[in-house]
Structure 1
Amino acid sequence: MRASVSTAQDLGMPAIYLHTLAGLLHRIGVDEQDLLLRVGLDPTRLNCPELRVSQAQASEFVTRAIIESGEPGLGILLAREMKLPLHGTLGTAVMSSRTLKDALELVTRYLTLRAPHLKVNRHKFESHARYTVSCDVDMGPLQGFILDATLFGCVFMGAQLTGTPVDGTRIVRQGPEPHYFQRFRQVIPVPVEYEAREDALIIPESRLALPIRFTNDQLAAASRAQCEEALQRLTEDACFASRVRRVIETSHPFPPKLARVAGTLFVSERTLKRRLQEEDASFQNLVDQVRLERAGELLTSTGMNLSQIADALGYADAANFTRAFKRWTGESPSQYRNKALRPVATA
């Protein structure tokens, strides 16, 4: 029996995907800002490449997006929006590969970085390579959305990499054809068959040797090493404190109340405190860590005054923010800003 999203290990989802989906919703007439705020997500934080959103909040946002847009084919629409650079280090590694086979091997190994709980297995079937995509948790109504975005995204990715849709490729899907799919059949450049035993991308073995347009051996080696490091960090970040921090980092309003974070993670306030204590962490310390990092960003990359920064960080006034910042760093916010912006002396 598979675990549910609420009980499975939460590795988070890249915030940039929700940012891209929000932009898509805006173009089809949905008030994406209001929707994000109702889910408790800060729209201004989703464009941060390194941030990940808790799977619970991502699931709620996507579910509401499908309902309020009235578009069950959002996963396919998102697949068309996903340009390779949006996939971070994995996108860079894929783009700099030598062949299509190399690129798909990277996706097979590192998909967890971009889509936790999805697994890819490669099998040879006659003269074709069969890349089967499966999910190790019960995603409920999100299953179709995620598989649409992943499988059809691979088709569009192949066209980006080689300059044209890959001849002979097809997609097979489990279950009956959804009622909405007929509207999208013409925009998907490969045959799609339903009522299959699995969800898979099928490519002729001969096409796997196709060269990638952006091949760069040096960049490929460096980005693959970064993917390996990121995969290790993601595994290490599976602790409960990391899950709590992910909710804090992207929450609106900021900082979130303990009760709201506990509810997002499907635990009681008492359980949240206990589990953090077991990891030698506390809710307030995690909030302060995020506040300090965000304060540094606002001081060095914006022209916001101290009152505006204090308000953004949830302080009653600039004086309270200044005291807290000095306690954390040993210097005032103004000193920190001046030092960071001071021109570096050259010999």
Structure 2
Amino acid sequence: MHHPSPDFEPRVYTPQRIAAVVATLASDGIPAAQALAGSELDEAALRDPGTRVSYAQTVTVLRNALALARNPTVALRAGARMHLTAYGMWGYALQSSPTFSALIEFAITYRRAIGPLADMHHDPARAPGTCSFEVLVSPDPRDPLYRFALAFTFAAHLTLARDLYGDGFGFTGLRLACPAPEHGAGVWEAWFQCPVQFGQPDNALQFDEAWCTRAPRLHDPLTHAMASESCQQFVAGLAHAGGIAAAVRRTLVEQMPWRFPSIESMARTLALEPRTLRRRLATHGTTYRSILNEVRLRLAIEYLRKTRMTTEEIAERLGYSEAANFRHAFVRWTGTSPHAYRLTCAPC
């Protein structure tokens, strides 16, 4: 069930998403310096081909956009700026794919190469005209960042599909797990020209299955193989890019559910002294408890939204000795109780 979140610390991704958001805000009269506040980036860095950014920096800019934006379409307009050329080798691999099925398989297999805001899934046997998405930058559908990520992702995919297949491509429907925005679904429906449903069991975009039989207009097997190899090498390197914080996060995910080790146990697993582990995590601006809470929160939200497990069962699964301790932690993380969260965020 659980899809591991990406490592937020490594600065390994190109800054196109940040640049798209900054440019969109600039078109609304918001200075780049305000959009980039707290990200350790400036306009010059966004123009530098050697700049690499982290998920943490991207999230900082997205939250700035949420605070600064005066237009409800900012995430949609920013995503629409993400043309095929913004994705580097990943984009070339899509463009040169020999078939639609090869394109989708590649897009999913090597999606982490582009630092996506959401993972993508496709079941060709069950729903060939549907792609589902799991937001990576926030686990909580109530978080405005969650909806921003989906708006950006869906708009980017529409631009990408039209670059690959022509302006005739369009979606037939959208589903989103997050609640509808204050202005309702009207802005979304006007943008995508299709029905949009909020508060759904999943996030998905739908399209006419006839597109599944069409190859991209510029397919080329040799170019596809070369670009695929480049993306494969990049994704393989991600496992070693996150340093100690990434190692702790991966170990927690591998050992869950049921076992959430103490920092002493984690240090032994990583062949370190506990004080060394604490010091090295501190250099990454985090702590063992913060990473453990992050993993627990993501799992708790997933269990509350997608299962019928009781609070007591979830507490046990997350390694709490008493359900009350889990309830107190969940309130501290989200501002609401597990029961209240399930009532408001369980799928319709």
Q: 2:280 aligns with which of 275, 278, 291?
A: 275
Q: How far does residue 226 in structure 1 lie from its aligned partner after superposition?
A: 0.6
Residue 59 of structure 2 is aligned to residue 59 of structure 1:
yes
Contact 1:167 1:207 (C-alpha < 8 Å) held by counterparts? no
- Local SS of the residue matching 1:176: coil
Distance 1:125 1:165, change over 3 A: farther
Contact 2:119 2:135 (C-alpha < 8 Å) held by counterparts? yes
Supply the AA of the counterpart residue of 1:138. P
The aligned counterpart of 2:165 is 162
Q: 2:186 aligns with which of 182, 185, 190?
A: 182
Distance 1:175 1:168, change over 3 A: closer
Contact 2:171 2:205 (C-alpha < 8 Å) held by counterparts? no
Q: How far does residue 4 in structure 1 lie from its aligned partner after superposition?
A: 11
- Local SS of the residue matching 1:62: helix
For normalisation by structure 2, the TM-score amounts to 0.62
Q: Which runs of 5+ in 1 are unaligned?
A: 244-269, 280-347
Distance 1:150 1:127, change over 3 A: closer
Supply the AA of the counterpart residue of 1:75. A
Superposition RMSD in Å: 3.5
The aligned counterpart of 1:135 is 135
For residues 8 and 38 of structure 2, the distance between their equivalents in structure 1, rounded to whole angstroms, comes to: 24
Q: How does 1:304-343 map to 2 (within 5 A)?
A: none
The aligned counterpart of 1:306 is none
Contact 2:36 2:61 (C-alpha < 8 Å) held by counterparts? yes
The aligned counterpart of 2:82 is 82
The aligned counterpart of 1:321 is none
Distance 1:117 1:34, change over 3 A: closer
Aligned residues: 252
Residue 91 of structure 2 is aligned to residue 121 of structure 1:
no
Q: 1:210 aligns with which of 211, 214, 218?
A: 214
- Local SS of the residue matching 1:24: helix
Supply the AA of the counterpart residue of 1:228. Q
Q: How far does residue 117 in structure 1 lie from its aligned partner after superposition?
A: 6.9
- Local SS of the residue matching 2:226: helix
Residue 234 of structure 2 is aligned to residue 235 of structure 1:
no
Q: How far does residue 32 in structure 1 lie from its aligned partner after superposition?
A: 1.2
Contact 2:122 2:128 (C-alpha < 8 Å) held by counterparts? no
In percent, how many aligned pairs have the same letter?
A: 21
Cα-to-partner distance string for 1:249-282 (whole Å, 9 max, x where unaligned): xxxxxxxxxxxxxxxxxxxxx9899318999xxx
Supply the AA of the counterpart residue of 1:113. A
Q: How far does residue 175 in structure 1 lie from its aligned partner after superposition?
A: 3.7
- Local SS of the residue matching 2:218: coil
Distance 1:192 1:271, change over 3 A: farther
Instruction: Select the structure that is richer in strand.
Output: 1
The aligned counterpart of 2:152 is 149
Contact 1:172 1:196 (C-alpha < 8 Å) held by counterparts? yes
Supply the AA of the counterpart residue of 1:93. A
Distance 1:47 1:99, change over 3 A: farther
Cα-to-partner distance string for 1:129-182 (whole Å, 9 max, x where unaligned): 332111355264321111211123212211111113436642211243323442
> Once structures 1 and 2 are overlaid, which stretch shifts more, 124-133 or 224-233?
124-133
Distance 1:80 1:3, change over 3 A: closer
- Local SS of the residue matching 1:236: coil
- Local SS of the residue matching 2:206: strand
Cα-to-partner distance string for 1:326-346 (whole Å, 9 max, x where unaligned): xxxxxxxxxxxxxxxxxxxxx
For residues 203 and 127 of structure 2, the distance between their equivalents in structure 1, rounded to whole angstroms, comes to: 19
Q: 1:197 aligns with which of 196, 201, 215?
A: 201
Q: Which runs of 5+ in 2 are unaligned?
A: 248-274, 285-348
Contact 2:104 2:122 (C-alpha < 8 Å) held by counterparts? no
- Local SS of the residue matching 1:237: coil
For normalisation by structure 1, the TM-score amounts to 0.62
For residues 118 and 165 of structure 2, the distance between their equivalents in structure 1, rounded to whole angstroms, comes to: 25
The aligned counterpart of 1:289 is none
Q: How far does residue 84 in structure 1 lie from its aligned partner after superposition?
A: 0.8
For residues 109 and 169 of structure 1, the distance between their equivalents in structure 2, rounded to whole angstroms, comes to: 25
For residues 175 and 34 of structure 1, the distance between their equivalents in structure 2, rounded to whole angstroms, comes to: 27
